[in-house]
Amino acid sequence: MSEFNIIASIPPVPKVHDSISDMEQSIVEDLLNNNRKLSEWIVAIPEIKSVEDIKQKMLESNILAATENEVIVQKMKTLYKNMKMLHLELDRKMAVFRQLQANHSNLCSLFDEAKIFKQLEMLKIESFDLSENIAFDWLERNDEKKLDDFVKSFLAKRIQHHVNASKIERLSFILNI
């Protein structure tokens, strides 16, 4: 019930109560001397009944509003908690995104072709020299028992040498050098 409706439904206060004006003196004195009777008589006045009804309706309306507000407060607390969790998750994902973006920028930035060619050439020479050293050491020891170990390590280094040479060749082709 809106406040306007409650105020509009309050009965006007009469200037003269006919029920009191028409009462005999002895009845008035009896009411004044007996609080219980006075209370019963006051409650029976139509305006008082109307105000009591309005009071009861306001109380029920307030209880209903308070109950609805409590439900809304609980929903708001749940929404706030969910929002905080989503905010923390967003912060975490944004940190991951920023890191990935930085990595992407590093990976996609222009590269120094000469530096890359030099590194690949050094790796190619290094792997060739290592494979030659493995072969020379094995020939010096002439240890036939470790032939499988020699073949595995020699082939691993020699394959790495050819992979690096292939990378240099492909990169040169891509960059038209």
Instruction: Give the whole-angstrom CA distance, residue 35 versus residue 30.
Output: 9
For residue 5, the model assigns a pLDDT of: 60
Please write the tens of the pLDDT for every residue from 48-93: 888 888 889 889 999 999 999 999 999 999 999 999 999 999 999 9
For residue 73, the model assigns a pLDDT of: 96
Instruction: Give the whole-angstrom CA distance, residue 124 versus residue 115.
Output: 14
Count of helices and strands (H, E) across the chain: 7, 0
For residue 110, the model assigns a pLDDT of: 65
Instruction: Give the whole-angstrom CA distance, residue 138 versus residue 127.
Output: 17
For residue 147, the model assigns a pLDDT of: 82
Instruction: Give the whole-angstrom CA distance, residue 5 versus residue 144.
Output: 109
Instruction: Give the whole-angstrom CA distance, residue 9 versus residue 11.
Output: 6
For residue 65, the model assigns a pLDDT of: 93
Residues of the chain with pLDDT under 50: 1
Instruction: Give the whole-angstrom CA distance, residue 9 versus residue 3.
Output: 10
